[in-house]
Amino acid sequence: MAKIREFAAIRPKEGLEERIAALPYDVYSRREAKAETEREPFSFLRIDRAETQLSDETPTDSPLVYEKARKLLWDMVKNGELVRDASPCFYLYELTMDGRAQTGLVACASIDDYETGVIKKHENTRADKEEDRVRHVDVCSAQTGPIFLTYRKQEAMECLTRRIKEQSPVFAFTAADGVEHRGWKISDPEEIRNIRRIFDGVEHVYIADGHHRAASAVRVGKLRRAAHPGYTGQEEFNWFLSVLFPDDELRILDYNRVVKDLGGLSPEAFLNKLRTYFSIEESDRSVVCAHKGEMGLFLEDRWYRMEVKPEYTSRDPVEGLDVSILQNTVLGPVLGITDPRTDKRIDFVGGIRGRKELERRVRLDCAAAFAMYPTSIRELLEVADAGRLMPPKSTWFEPKLRSGLFIHEIER
């Protein structure tokens, strides 16, 4: 069963939440991150991407970057811009986008649950990205970006959440992108016990987003265990910062593909190859996929609607994903893109950017774009329950959790 526990969060001083809260570090290029920190000097991105505070020539993996992050973080605590709660608490974190709200429990999850499979994964991690966050967490001695977890909804947790949200939030603001953020502090001992009891009955929780942050938190925890052979398991480094959402509240957007060339084929020959696997018809407007098995293709300034033929569908939890079908019928066999994780001929475009971005990329530097139907939460859970992994870039969650609103110190 899932083990979670409360913690004494380091949080923005009242009134600074909006200025400090930042989108995840990995949604920005270095240039974009620097521009954002110049726009907002309090942005937590200064800490998550501390190279923005150094010369442009400084490598992103330089020890100077991680030392700068540590100094910036603890200077903000020293200056009172970030404040540590006096006692361990749980928190609620609500995000509202386009009128649709989702509310998660901010808590610490167990690195042992990650190791034993109580916390289930659906995605591999890249060694370089994982190493970066390992060094960031280890040098800062704090987890600064929460891992986005989900669980099958629990009625008791729904009732408790509704009750807590009748109280006044400890912060409430609307970010520049229009997403509303509200938070509540849960310090009542009986409520804390109730939450623990609820999750004592949850068999598994699932990583929705943040596989690299989770893997790095676990690695740092194991390093600290090695440095403290007498550890009890209660030390903060045995736990990692998470926000746990019920599965029925989450929203996955499409994660689309653009390819740099057609593998030497003419557009006409490429379409003929695709017709082996798909029924294809030209569309007079951009294609927004209406159901599983439907995809859009933008090629030579035209949109095409593609429907996968029944013989190329699958009941297998991984092979039946639309992103797998596209990989196994087109990207691999036709274009020779056998490893989309490393092949420079393919790029990925989150659905939040819309179809216009796909059109822009094809007109700018790509030969074709594929618009996908979003992977569902049900599919994600089925893949994780089967102990399998999705292809890279299968899910794009919105809205994104902000960093800097809740920080977990792992060792003083």
Q: What is the mean pLDDT of the chain?
A: 95
Q: Is the pLDDT of residue 378 over 90?
A: yes
More confident residue, 9 or 122: 9
**CB under 8 Å to 135, separation ≥6 — which residues?**
61, 66
pLDDT bin (cut points 50, 70, 90) of residue 150 is: very high
**CB under 8 Å to 351, separation ≥6 — which residues?**
253, 254, 255, 256, 372, 374, 396, 398
In whole angstroms, what is the distance from residue 202 CA to residue 219 CA?
25
In whole angstroms, what is the distance from residue 341 CA to residue 391 CA?
9
Task: Give the mean model confidence (pLDDT) for residues 86-106.
Answer: 97
pLDDT bin (cut points 50, 70, 90) of residue 342 is: confident
pLDDT bin (cut points 50, 70, 90) of residue 31 is: very high
Task: Give the mean model confidence (pLDDT) for residues 107-123.
Answer: 95
Tokens describing residue 273: 């190859």
Give the model's pLDDT for residue 328: 96
**Cα angle, residue 88 at apex, residues 86 and 89 outer, rounded to 5°:** 110
Residue 165: CB atoms within 10 A of its CB come to: 15
pLDDT in tens, 158-188: 999 999 999 999 999 999 999 999 999 999 9
- Residue 363: helix, strand or coil by DSSP? helix
Give the model's pLDDT for residue 309: 98
Give the model's pLDDT for residue 412: 83
Residue 2 sits at φ, ψ, to 5 deg, of -75, 130
pLDDT bin (cut points 50, 70, 90) of residue 50 is: very high
Given a contact cutoff of 8 angstroms between Cβ atoms, the answer to whether 270 and 174 are in contact is no
pLDDT bin (cut points 50, 70, 90) of residue 392 is: confident
Give the model's pLDDT for residue 336: 96
Tokens describing residue 85: 């709660």
Tokens describing residue 240: 């990692």
What share of the chain has pLDDT > 90, as a percent? 92
Q: What letter does residue 373 receive in the DSSP assignment?
A: P
Give the model's pLDDT for residue 28: 87
pLDDT bin (cut points 50, 70, 90) of residue 227 is: very high
Q: What is the Cα 388 distance to its own chain's centre?
A: 18
pLDDT in tens, 271-296: 999 999 999 999 999 999 999 999 99
In whole angstroms, what is the distance from residue 19 CA to residue 138 CA?
25
CA 401, 403, 404, 406 torsion-angle sign: positive
In whole angstroms, what is the distance from residue 118 CA to residue 110 CA?
9
Q: Is the pLDDT of residue 9 over 90?
A: yes
Given a contact cutoff of 8 angstroms between Cβ atoms, the answer to whether 107 and 7 are in contact is yes
Give the model's pLDDT for residue 242: 98
Task: Give the mean model confidence (pLDDT) for residues 246-273.
Answer: 96
Tokens describing residue 26: 């990995």
pLDDT in tens, 124-136: 777 788 899 999 9
In whole angstroms, what is the distance from residue 409 CA to residue 25 CA?
19
In whole angstroms, what is the distance from residue 59 CA to residue 52 CA?
11
Cα–Cα distances in angstroms (integers) from residue 28 to residues 31, 35, 179, 219, 281, in the given order = 8, 10, 18, 24, 36
Q: Is the pLDDT of residue 194 over 80?
A: yes
**Cα angle, residue 285 at apex, residues 325 and 361 outer, rounded to 5°:** 65
Task: Give the mean model confidence (pLDDT) for residues 23-33.
Answer: 89
Left if phi > 0, otherwise alpha if psi is -120 to 50, otherwise beta: which for 213?
Answer: alpha
Tokens describing residue 297: 């293709």
